[in-house]
Amino acid sequence: MRIGLIALLVAIPIPATGQSAWLDAATRATGGAGIALESPVPYPFNPASLSEHASVSAGMSRLFGIAELAPQRVGLGTTLAGIRWAASATGLNIEGFTDTRLGVCGAAAVGGGSIGARGVIIRRRAGPYPAARSFLVTAGFRHALSARVSAAVVLARGVGRGLPDDEAPLLALGAAWSDGRLAVPVDIRRSGGAPPSLHAGIHLAASDTFILRVGASTAPDLVAGGVSMVLGRLAIDVGIDRHVDLGLSLSLDVRWLTG
């Protein structure tokens, strides 16, 4: 019974939970918004938001207060031949239910913006049953409309047996205003036949060391917040969100800038 409940929680679509299980802490802290902003981690929701700064990152989330429901993620990002690259791995293991994902992401500058693509191999297995494999492709575009305003589009499509519900065809549109110290991202997402969801947040660089974040989303209602601490090349991101039905989730990512 417990295994079935946990597996059901993992398979809930993005619009149902308000957040994907694989989002990083900084993104969760702004209610899932931010596809038009540069991502601080090498496993961004929008591949076109991949940072040009080389980094190594690792993170973990504890979803809905369930200790066993703790997806883990690691990533490595770098720049080669003018193209930003990243490799990532995520995993979840709950008493016989496993979900493992290996991804490669690339992004390049185009005009006043960037384009990016990511491919992810997904392997899911429940108990003694054979593993189900699927493949997820995500394409993204990010463009600076002015010195302070940017916009982005993300398209995702999955194929294969046993594809999770949250990997249904997805369309996300986003915009963000930023002056270097304050950033306000707003996203709209539509996944499969579910209603559109709205995500909005605020990033505030209180100092060179601390960044504060708050956010919210709809479909269903969710509120979030978090903080980042930057100590030289080391950065720590903490995000917490409260789902209207499922409760609190906590996420942590640790980043090291290598270049």
Q: Which residues of the chain have pLDDT under 70?
A: 1-20, 161-168
| E-only strand ranges, the chain | 55-62, 72-80, 83-94, 97-110, 113-126, 132-144, 149-160, 170-178, 182-191, 197-205, 210-217, 222-231, 234-243, 247-257
Q: Please give the radius of gyration of the chain, using alpha carbons only, rounded to the nearest integer.
A: 17
Q: Is this structure's pTM higher than 0.75?
A: yes
- The reported pLDDT for the residue numbered 167 is 56
- The reported pLDDT for the residue numbered 162 is 62
**Helix (H, G, I), strand (E, B), or coil: what is residue 3?**
helix
- The reported pLDDT for the residue numbered 64 is 85
- DSSP code, position 258: -
Q: 76-84: long-range contacts (C-beta < 8 A, 24 or more apart)?
A: 76/42, 77/42, 77/50, 77/51, 77/53, 78/54, 78/258, 78/259, 79/52, 79/54, 79/259, 82/108, 82/109, 83/107, 83/108, 84/50, 84/51, 84/52, 84/108, 84/114, 84/116
Please state, in angstroms and rounded to a whole number, the distance separating the CA atoms of residues 195 and 176: 22
From the list 185, 24, 189, the residue with the least C-alpha distance to 90 is 24
Domains, the chain, ordered by start: 2-257 (2.40.160.60)
Residue 140 near residue 48 (C-beta atoms within 8 A): yes
- The reported pLDDT for the residue numbered 129 is 81
Please state, in angstroms and rounded to a whole number, the distance separating the CA atoms of residues 56 and 144: 27
State phi, psi for 184 to the nearest 5 degrees.
-130, 100
Please state, in angstroms and rounded to a whole number, the distance separating the CA atoms of residues 102 and 119: 8
**Helix (H, G, I), strand (E, B), or coil: what is residue 25?**
helix
DSSP letters along 165-180, please? GGGS-EEEEEEEEE-S
**Helix (H, G, I), strand (E, B), or coil: what is residue 17?**
helix
201's tokens: 């947040």
